[in-house]
Homo-oligomer: A and B are copies of this chain.
């Protein structure tokens, strides 16, 4: 079976790039620098369903993105979550949070209405993630 992104993730996000294990997506919500990792595996909804080596790779990717958001995006706090109550395909949120953001200190999941990027802003945001993620190399395939 070929990996296919869940339609809801496809609808809500912008594709950034493929990492060693996961597809890296940007949530289409300009309120928060909000990244999503989707391991390119079929029929997996829990981290426990990944092979141990894949779990470790996912951890590496989470850690790399967290460092990136902390250092390059000057986040006050990183929020990491694997929920999947609505979209069963395994995906991990890695979000830069700021004491000044509109949801702080609440979690962002389901927080009011998302604000989609304009096409121009989307391109800038995607390019920024792409260019800085390559400084956190060990995660790239």
Interface of A toward B, CB cutoff 8 Å: 45-48, 55-56, 59, 62-63, 66-67, 70, 77-86, 88, 97, 104-107, 109-110
Contacts and interface: CB of A to CB of B under 8 A. Distances in A.
A85 B56 contact: no
Contacts of A62: 47
Majority-rule SS of A interface residues:
mixed
9 contacts: A48-B70, A48-B78, A56-B59, A78-B82, A79-B83, A81-B82, A86-B105, A107-B107, A109-B109
A21 to B, nearest CB: 14
A93 to B, nearest CB: 8
A82 B56 CA distance: 17
